[in-house]
Amino acid sequence: MDTSKSPADWNSSEKSEILQPAPPPYQDQYGYPNAGYPAQGSYPTSSGYPDQPYGAPGDQPNLQGQYAQGPFPGQPVVTAQSTMYVTVTPLANPQPDYLGYSIFTMLCCCLPLGIAALIYSIFTRKANMSGHQLLAETNSKMARTLNHAALGIGLTVVVLYIIIVIVNIISVK
């Protein structure tokens, strides 16, 4: 956009480099008499002396009450409480998670059932660590059932493969 031209000469189809609208013009806030800038010199210096604009609060002999510590007027008091940490002890008799069995059935027998059994094994381990006895027992039984099914399917596939190979060898001769 060419800024050397007047706004009447600008091309409306040209993309503007300024992506935000112009700010609204300044308006006096009539409802708020103290709004705007304070009168010059109305702020006190921190030390009370004009040649020392900054100083420690203890160096203010004539401003003791003005900077007293405490809440601002009209502000609520906030009370901070200490934090309590809760620790969960693992179960005294944890349920078996069948994690090794799940990894074996996933890699060697039936991949989909092995993955499901692995997930239930991990859930069993987490429930044991968090102290949920009933959840750990349920997940442990499901992991064991899925592992047994995956092992059964895997053994059936291996036995059928051996039978098919033997039948093909016999029929070729």
Whether residue 157 is contained in a domain is answered as yes
CA distance 61 to 46: 11
Provide the residue range defining the domain that includes 145.
99-172
Whether residue 54 is contained in a domain is answered as no
**The two structure tokens encoding residue 29:** 């806030």
Q: Supply the pTM of this predicted model.
A: 0.48
Tell whether the model's pLDDT for residue 43 goes beyond 60.
no
Whether residue 145 is contained in a domain is answered as yes
Residues in CB range of 98: below 8 A, 6 or more apart: 117, 121, 124, 140, 143, 144, 147
Whether residue 124 is contained in a domain is answered as yes
Whether residue 9 is contained in a domain is answered as no
What is the domain count for the chain? 1
Q: Could you please report the per-residue DSSP string of 148-167?
A: HHHHHHHHHHHHHHHHHHHH
Enumerate the β-bridge partners of residue 52.
49
Tell whether the model's pLDDT for residue 17 goes beyond 70.
no
On whether the CB atoms of residues 134 and 146 are closer than 8 A, the answer is no
Question: Rounded to 5 degrees, what are φ and ψ at 172?
Answer: -75, -35
Whether residue 107 is contained in a domain is answered as yes
Whether residue 106 is contained in a domain is answered as yes
Helices 133-172/111-130 angle, 10° precision: 160
- Provide mean pLDDT across the span 138-158: 96
Predicted confidence at residue 161, as pLDDT, reads 97
Predicted confidence at residue 80, as pLDDT, reads 77
Whether residue 72 is contained in a domain is answered as no
